Structure 1
């Protein structure tokens, strides 16, 4: 006789999902049983309309009780349990049909299926694990546990052979963070109630620890997972591995980095073939600042890879973490070409994580260090509507370097409009406007920058640049007094002590300020300030004027200055606001 399959599920308020899963199941199932646990919507009506047998069960805070209620109505040789928000595509439906033809008459096996689930964890990665979903229809094959109900213990008591198939069931739940938080609180309540009834069950303690960690109660989670480790059977290899890894995750989150490494060593004794252990070791080592150890562990990860078992993992998330660490180590060590390579790999695996502020910042800076403006432009342009507003300033700068002046002005403006309190964005916009000869706009922006920037050592060169450029614009408009105010602040910031008893002394001060800059453009602007200042010197200072002019010429010759150009279309001696 051919094998028959009963699909059993429980549901509550699943009118949006129940039709989809029933239509999938009808392709291979001989009967479909839906136990409704208190729906207020059309879930039971839809199930009936599609041919399912519908029963009602009063919810009693016990998932196993509800599941087992559905099992008692099953008449098929085999039972497949599904969730209302599961989905099986056509390819895997065909694989189900093939499996059904070959189920053993002895009914001495149980079947694990590959579960693909979207879990709301802050990124776009799908999670995968194998779960026991199909088993023979025997009266003693019943679920256990109020929450995170298990059928595996019943299968173990019957010594059923465990078969891992490559049939995939897609689980569409776990996508709303608010609902997840509500579920964690509910789960914790049910698990704590069950722990009182079964105080020595390791898996109950493990799930309590998980719920506590998700709710931010890390110390309580750590205490509970330690209790689970104390009572887990030695033969439960996968559970032991999971418990040590979970303990390490909690310890890492608590900053107990040495303890986390010890827990990972214990996990590695249980499953030495699993690359996730070495990935976590690399992450902990990174937090400890041991970059050599990070690289060593990542090399091991590359050799081992990641295995999918009964513990959920997200392979793309693992790759994301791997490439992120590779990129960050290279960035810190100044290997910008390697950092670029790994960040691009990260972008391919996880665009969302690539766009997280620090990752994108380091990627862009690496490309700028390589003078690779083309890649900066193309990638920031690709994600233009998703990048932080301040990154539009970097997009503008790369466009400027590529000669796309109109685009550059557009993005500088957009960056400024979205970040009017960000000094770096203001500074970049001001520089650009100066370079294209829009001096009034440039002056207003630089003065705004000087009001908002923090006067700290890391900002000193930018502040000096802003003061120097403002003075340049003032001098071109014959406003010597304002230029002197800029010079006074510049001397104070740079630590230069200048005794200015004449206009020539002011000009000489600008020569000293020019020596603070490594970039030729701003050096030249400072030297031009000296030239422009000398124009206001009286005739009796002629000797000093000649001496200072000679020194300026020598400094210009030192870096082979092209006499007609400073930056883009800005020329020495250009005057008046535009």
Structure 2
């Protein structure tokens, strides 16, 4: 199995990696599991923050029959690769083998240095969520610094009552200034920023200190800025929508920048670029749930701050992108396209600008909603060509083709129906294919119904054809296959219903 972690790996990391991935992978394929275990441990000594190294070690331990320690290795890998697709299957496999013997070497590799972490929470009139936010954080961190930017609903009293150190900060329309004020109050080795409408997952309480410990060695050689997973809660639906740069070591040259959509930023150039790893610290966020938030008011407030920020920093593609995105949410497609096109142009002038795929994604969506289908098609081609690793480009292009296919199927059905009708009425002297009216058009209408998933309608068309021409082998085979598929679906439904009742 392969880890798909998005951590930016640099040459200096490769220099620390004592064993190559290819060597360990081959040992596993050859069944040399004890050797693979030893080599994975050697690799982890140099790069303990790489998810793939822990995947290798976990697989070796699992194959050696040590399910308990294998599970711990996979859990470490999952911390470092939160989007890993293998988690459920692998954890189940670990539970299905014996616990095995104790492995002190692996246990030693799993230990991390003790570190202290502060949570930094901004809030204003968040009495609805501030209690749950702080209660969830309390067992996960060493202190909670809560910055009140002007509450009048008693949020500050609630925050203080549940253990936060509350500081008042006069709101200046600058989120970065408020965060940096809070940062000045932090006394721990690491800080993680949490919004007051975000609730830490109970399963990730231990993750914050563990992750800080894992990356403690990295910070000695390169700046570290960690991204957490924001799980957007809308109604009953939870979606891992975005990763947010929120966690970093204190005492480094890192501060928050940006009037809005602020991000941790290096304050001076360093010999080595920052490691910006995505880690498994998940927070529920309902800040975009219309049940709790006036979204139009929120987006318009954002636009005011973004416009001011862009005036201070003209041609900044980050602010141009967010203005385009918020305008898209507000259905102002003309403005959205204008700013997204500007953002794309300026982003292309910056080598390795990370937001460029997302800029193009939003631009393609804006083109579609504005009815500029040719522009949308061209932008999607740019995405899959220049960002082949970015899933949204392929998905949006697939959606476009599916819509086109649906239109073509509808038009084809109309043509076949007209062909059948014309064949029944045609009395001209020019020779024509008489089978069109008898069975060819109905057979094609049945095929279209099948492609659309309407099995009942397809079956009726095929039966109608066979009634007219019972010796058509191809149509009979299609009908038999369709009926087999229908029976298989019915059987699956019965089994699923039975399993649900048993649960």
Mapping 1:264-413, distance limit 5 Å: 264-288=380-404, 333-335=448-450, 338-339=453-454
- Match for residue 175 of structure 1 among 289, 294, 317: 289
2:279 aligned with 1:161: no
Distance change >3 Å, CA 212–CA 70, structure 1 → 2 = same
State how far apart, in whole Å, the 1-side matches of 2:356 and 2:404 are: 26
Q: Which has the larger radius of gyration?
A: 1
Question: Which structure would you say has the larger RCO, counting Cα contacts within 8 Å and 6 or more residues apart?
Answer: 2
Q: Is the 8 A contact 1:3 1:103 kept in 2?
A: no
2:63 aligns with none
TM-score by length of structure 1 reads 0.49
Secondary structure of the structure 2 residue equivalent to 1:33: strand
2:121 aligned with 1:9: yes
State how far apart, in whole Å, the 1-side matches of 2:188 and 2:371 are: 52
State how far apart, in whole Å, the 1-side matches of 2:177 and 2:195 are: 15
1:447 aligns with none
2:207 aligns with 95
2:321 aligned with 1:206: yes
Please say which of residues 14-23 and 91-100 is displaced more in the overlay: 91-100
Cα shift at 1:143: 1.3
Kindly report the root-mean-square deviation, in angstroms, between the aligned alpha carbons of the 2 structures: 3.4
2:264 aligns with 151
Q: Is the 8 A contact 2:119 2:194 kept in 1?
A: yes
Secondary structure of the structure 2 residue equivalent to 1:40: coil
Distance change >3 Å, CA 51–CA 257, structure 1 → 2 = same
2:141 aligned with 1:26: no
2:227 aligned with 1:115: no
State how far apart, in whole Å, the 1-side matches of 2:398 and 2:253 are: 45
State how far apart, in whole Å, the 1-side matches of 2:279 and 2:240 are: 17
- Match for residue 308 of structure 2 among 184, 193, 204: 193
Distance change >3 Å, CA 155–CA 208, structure 1 → 2 = farther
1:84 aligns with 196
2:184 aligned with 1:72: yes
Cα shift at 1:128: 2.6
2:372 aligned with 1:260: no
1:63 aligns with 175
Aligned pairs, number:
313
2:160 aligned with 1:48: yes
Distance change >3 Å, CA 127–CA 162, structure 1 → 2 = closer
Unaligned regions of 5+ residues in structure 1, if any?
A: 294-329, 342-366, 383-578
Cα shift at 1:288: 4.2
Cα shift at 1:162: 2.0
State how far apart, in whole Å, the 1-side matches of 2:149 and 2:254 are: 21
State how far apart, in whole Å, the 1-side matches of 2:304 and 2:455 are: 47
Q: Is the 8 A contact 1:209 1:222 kept in 2?
A: yes
State how far apart, in whole Å, the 1-side matches of 2:120 and 2:355 are: 27
Distance change >3 Å, CA 249–CA 163, structure 1 → 2 = same
TM-score by length of structure 2 reads 0.56
Cα shift at 1:199: 0.5
State how far apart, in whole Å, the 2-side matches of 1:282 and 1:57 are: 48
Secondary structure of the structure 2 residue equivalent to 1:224: helix
Cα shift at 1:92: 0.8
Cα shift at 1:96: 2.4
Distance change >3 Å, CA 339–CA 55, structure 1 → 2 = farther
1:484 aligns with none
2:264 aligned with 1:130: no
State how far apart, in whole Å, the 2-side matches of 1:210 and 1:269 are: 23
2:365 aligned with 1:245: no
